[in-house]
Structures are given as structure tokens and as C-alpha cells.
Amino acid sequence: MSMYVAGSINWTAAHAEQGMQLLVRSITQEALGIRTFELVHPHRNALPAFEAGAHVDVQVPGGPVRQYSLCNAPAERYRYLIAVLRVDRGRGGSTGMHQHVDVGDLLEVSAPRNQFELAGVAQRHLLIAGGIGVTPLLAMVEALSARQADFRLVYCTRSIDHTAFTDRLEEHLRAGRVSLHHDDGDPTRALDLLALLARQEDGTHLYCCGPAGLMQAVKNATAHWAVGSVHFEYFAPSSASTAPADGDGFEVRLARSGGSYHVPPGRSIIDVLRANGVACETSCEAGVCGTCRTPYLEGTPLHQDFVLTSQEQTKFVLICCARSSSAVLVLDR
């Protein structure tokens, strides 16, 4: 049996920046097209702690960097568990994980980051998952269950064969804290969101992760909910991320270094800065991870990310995807 030594390594900010090489200890087929990858430290050291809702960046062998939510219990320090749905016509990350990663391989993994945290003020938690979007919510189920909080998970999939983690959810299914909804691919059998939301009491916080259609439906149905009580985790860019036309582009200025660069249509701020020798830290480059968050001082950004709250948008911009409706956008860097 392997030994895991909690606290035997002092993870610092530098470690977090550098990422880690983690060993693939096991791979499990969880449902149709879904595999979990159990990642541990090669010397069985404890891993950096994470909170429910966190994700890590994984360097897919020979492919892109992809973000995957951690779906094991946050109290577990000896492993990270990620689940990957194979999408054959995707951007290459999931097929790379399914085809090129084996037990015993080492993967480059970042420290956990969290933009989908449980709200400390919530009296009740309603979790709505669609398909592989269940992964961050599964960690939430573990965390909420451990603290005996009031929660309910509604997990929507096409069929029972497409439903992962039923073994881990079994006890909660029996207790009525988790319910499954299968639509068999028929849109007319989609979850009755309005009926579900009509039963929610004041003080409930809602967390949703799933396909763009489900997220949009939840967004529409909760438009009247209190600000800050509905939380989304976007795990892939939707069509909404299509760059808007901005004429001839705009100018980006760096307040501290004094640089000034033209950002033409079709190129991102990051592209332009890098081309001019300005180092930029990024990960997803799709507006879903928050790594490129940058404060701005002047101008009117056209935000196109899935991360910033409307309050944060008044101060920060994600420069991998944002554009500008003003002629000049001044960044505080």
C-alpha cells in the first residue's frame, strides 16, 4: 500500500507558479466517454490543498494545456482526481488525455485555482450539473456533506450510461439530496428548471456547470435572483466568446512601462503584447481560467470572459479575450 505524507513538503508560491509533475496512479472508465485520472505526487508527498470548485491546468502530452476541475473530496491531500469527457471533434485536449495518457505517466499539473467557490453566506446550496459539468459540483457535494450543510444536486445526463460517479452519489441519491435527470437526447424532456427553481427558499445559492444551453437557461431563469447568489463555472468557451467587430482595432497602452501598441481585428491583446516582447502569463487563452487578469486604468473594455463578475469588470480585464470599445485601453502594468 502507498504511504502519503501530509505536510512533508512545503508548497510555496514558487511551486504553485512552476507547477508539478504528478504521477498517473490510476485511470477509470466512469461512464460512456468519461475517464477519471487519479494524480499523485511521485514520492507520495501531500499535494497543495484545494477548495471545492477548484481546477488545475494540465499539460496534455503533445497537446494543449487544459483546465480540469478537481472532483475528489477537498479533504484528500494525497491525490487529485480529474474527469475527462472524450470529445472527438474538440480542440484536442480530451482525445490526447484518452489516447496518450497511461498509468505510470508523469503529467505537468498546475497548483489548484478556484473561481467557483462555495459561498460562505449561503443557507442552502442548489447544484445543477449537466454532463461532465458535474465534476466541480461533485467536490462541492463532498465538502457540503462533510460539513452537514443543506444542499441538493440535480445531475442531468442523456442516460444512465452517460452518468458518471453513481457509486459516489449512491448514499445521497438514497437520502434524496441528489437526483438524476435523463433526457435521452430529447430537448422536450429537458429539466423543468422553472418548477425546480420555484421550490427554492430565500438564502439559497445556486451553482451550475454544464453545456452552454443549460447554463444560459439557468442564467435566464435566475435573472431576478439576488446579485451574487448564482454561480457558474464555464469549462469551455461558448459561441458567446466570438470576438465582436471593433472596426480598425484599438490601441493598448501600458501605464507603467509606457508601451503603446495597436491591436488589430482578429488578434488578441496578448498576441500583440507578446509580439512586442511583453511577457504575459496565460493558460486557457479562452476566457475561462482567469490567469491573464489585468487591472486597467482607462478605456472601455469589451469583456468576453466567463470569469469576472460585473463588479470585477469595472477594474479588471482578461486580456486573452477582451477587446475595447474605446480607441485606447490603458492597462495598469
Sites for ligand FES among residues 36-65 (CB under 6 A): none
> For ligand FES, what does the binding mask look like between residues 8 and 37, x meaning CB under 6 A?
------------------------------
Residue 230: CB minimum distance to ligand FES, A: 20
**What's the N-to-C CA distance of the chain in angstroms?**
50
Write down the least CB distance from residue 113 to ligand FES, Å.
Answer: 10
Burial 202-220 (b: 16+ CB within 10 A, else e): eebbbbbbbbbebbebbee
Alpha-carbon gap, residue 156 to 83, rounded angstroms: 16
All cell numbers assigned to 262: 495597436
Distance CA 101, CA 59 (A): 11
Cβ proximity to ligand FES, 25 vs 55, nearer residue: 55
CB 39 within 8 A of CB 79: yes
Q: Rounded to the nearest whole angstrom, what is the least distance from the CB of residue 65 to ligand FES in the complex?
A: 9
Q: How far is the CB of 284 from ligand FES (least distance, A)?
A: 4
69 binds ligand FES (CB under 6 A): no
Q: Which is nearer to ligand FES, 33 or 290 (CB)?
A: 290
On whether the CB atoms of residues 54 and 71 are closer than 8 A, the answer is no
Q: In whole angstroms, how far apart are CA 270 and each of 226, 245, 279, 289?
A: 35, 17, 9, 15
Nearer to ligand FES, 20 or 292 (CB): 292
State the nearest-atom distance from the C-beta of 235 to ligand FES, in Å.
12
> What is the number of the residue whose Cβ is closest to ligand FES?
320
Give phi and psi for 57, each to the nearest 5: -90, 135
Tell which positions 274-333 bind ligand FES, by CB under 6 A.
282-285, 287-292, 305, 318, 320
Which residues lie near ligand FES (CB under 6 A)? Answer: 282-285, 287-292, 305, 318, 320
